[in-house]
Amino acid sequence: MATTVVAALPQEYSGGTLAREQVSLWRDGVRRLRRNKLALAAVIYLAILVVMSIVAFVWTPYKPNAIGACETYTTPSGAHPFGCDELGRDSLSRLMVGAQLSLAVGLGTALIVLFVGVTVGLVAGYFRGPVDSAISLVINIFYGIPTLLVALVLYTLLGPGLVNIMIAISATIWMDMARLVRGQTLSIREREFVEAARASGARSGKILFGHIFPNALGPIIVQATFVIPVAILTAAFLSFLGLGVAPPQADWGGMAAEGLQAIRYVPHIVLAPSIAISLTLLAFNFFGDGLRDAFDPRQKR
């Protein structure tokens, strides 16, 4: 189904001067994405971030948790580009390790949301009737409660840990994905090729995952991209309130919170992680926007 965009052009164009090189939806999308300067800048930033966090596994300028690597609250200098925190730990090293955590939370949550949201959405949209009503009711209840605070309570309940953070956050943002997939499923299941598949004796599972899911993939990927910044933001929010990963481990929200008490004297200690979080969220949002414009041109902003 990936080639339908060009293949669907009316017959008379194919031989005339209007004909253009046949490209797949993906190649076409990538081409459009590359023309979007903001999205391109976002991709470059994210690539640097990924490389940095991979490097941080084997090398950081200083040991991220080493207390007393420098004077408490050292101001930024050549040796410590982002200064040091209240325990004399090098901020750059901690930012690098924090990047790992943020990316892990973002991607991990996106995967969980993808799995739960797609499954629930497909089932609700395909089987309709009472199944759909029940699922929609649950979705609406979730929308009605302050989800960030649910994440807070859930996380306190589950206890610290990376996976628990992801579960707590997923529980609060899976609904958008489920609703999107449900809507897509409802419209795709009425299309002829689904009817054809059903007529040729395909079972529900085959129709769902072999026919409906691939055709809804574009919007699903775009939606998943937007889950990442929300997850990173929520994780930062939680650790800002002191509910992040266990203490010596560096994470951006926690760094910003720890620095807050000294913000009057050494603003850089708050600004460095704050800027890191903001730039990362901005990059993911611009990338998601670019992705949507490139791969899902029908959808309006």
Q: Does 298 bind other proteins (CB under 8 A)?
A: no
In the complex, minimum distance from the CB of residue 64 to other proteins, in angstroms, rounded to a whole number = 22
In the set 50, 54, 79, 263, which binds other proteins (CB under 8 A)? Answer: 263
In the complex, minimum distance from the CB of residue 289 to other proteins, in angstroms, rounded to a whole number = 7
Cα–Cα distances in Å, from 270 out to 75, 253, 254, 259?
A: 12, 10, 10, 5
Q: Does 134 bind other proteins (CB under 8 A)?
A: no
Nearest to 169 by CA among 102, 249, 222: 102
Size of the site for other proteins (CB under 8 A): 42
Q: Tell me which stretch binds other proteins (CB under 8 A): 1-9, 54-62, 195-203, 239-247.
A: 239-247
In the set 45, 73, 127, 237, which binds other proteins (CB under 8 A)? Answer: 237
Between residues 112 and 236, which has the closer beta carbon with respect to other proteins? Answer: 236
DSSP H helices, the chain, are 4-7, 25-35, 37-58, 91-127, 129-144, 147-158, 162-188, 192-199, 204-206, 213-215, 217-240, 252-260, 268-295
Helices 217-240 & 252-260 angle (0-180, nearest 10): 30
- First vs last Cα of the chain: how many Å apart? 25
In the complex, minimum distance from the CB of residue 275 to other proteins, in angstroms, rounded to a whole number = 8
Between residues 98 and 188, which has the closer beta carbon with respect to other proteins? Answer: 98
Q: Within 187-226, which residues bind other proteins (CB under 8 A)?
A: none
In the set 179, 240, 250, 294, which binds other proteins (CB under 8 A)? Answer: 240
Measured CA to CA, the distance from residue 166 to residue 89 in angstroms comes to: 27
Q: Does 144 bind other proteins (CB under 8 A)?
A: yes
Who's near 261: CB < 8 A, 6+ residues apart? 86
Residue with tokens 């730990």: 89
DSSP H helices, 59-161, are 91-127, 129-144, 147-158
Q: Does 171 bind other proteins (CB under 8 A)?
A: no
Who's near 159: CB < 8 A, 6+ residues apart? none
Q: Does 143 bind other proteins (CB under 8 A)?
A: yes
In the set 60, 100, 215, 274, which binds other proteins (CB under 8 A)? Answer: 274
Q: Does 153 bind other proteins (CB under 8 A)?
A: yes
Residue ranges binding other proteins (CB under 8 A): 38, 141, 143-149, 152-154, 156-157, 159, 229, 233, 236-237, 240-243, 253, 256-257, 260, 263-264, 267, 270-271, 274, 277-278, 281-282, 285-286, 289, 300-301
